[in-house]
Amino acid sequence: MSGVVFDSAILVDALVGLSSARTEIVRSPERWITRLAWSEVLAGARGDADRVEDYLSHFKVVELNEEIARRAAALVEQRPVVALGDAISLAAAQVTGRIFVTRNTTAFPASMPGIRIPYTL
């Protein structure tokens, strides 16, 4: 498989106009997000749901399944600093053979295999 799975923070950064986030999204021809990230971004739409849903329609969605859920649980056990939502996103990337793109260096060091940190705030 190919492509990347984006963290919800990258999506929100792009929505609010952060050029680094927009550049990272545009450079990836095959863009994926988890259903959880989709929900997180839409929940923050605050009266702008139509625009946000249109934006989200440009991403393919990885649905949560048992394999991803089990992998996420194992990640949280291995790395307690990782929140379950972040672990689900990383697990989705790992299970589907994609790179996880995030700016969360607290939970995911740049040296961690399968992670890309395009920028930090």
Q: Which domains does the chain have, with CATH numbers?
A: 4-116 (3.40.50.1010)
Of 28, 24, 30, the residue nearest 9 (C-alpha): 24
Q: What are phi and psi of 52, to 5 degrees?
A: -65, -40
Residue 72 has pLDDT above 80, yes or no: yes
pTM greater than 0.85: yes
Q: What are the beta bridge partners of residue 6?
A: 101
Residue 2 has pLDDT above 80, yes or no: no
Burial degree of 25 (CB within 10 A; 0-12, 13-18, 19+)? buried
Residue 99 is inside which H or E element, if any?
Answer: strand 99-101
Give the integer Cα–Cα distance in Å for 81 and 108: 9
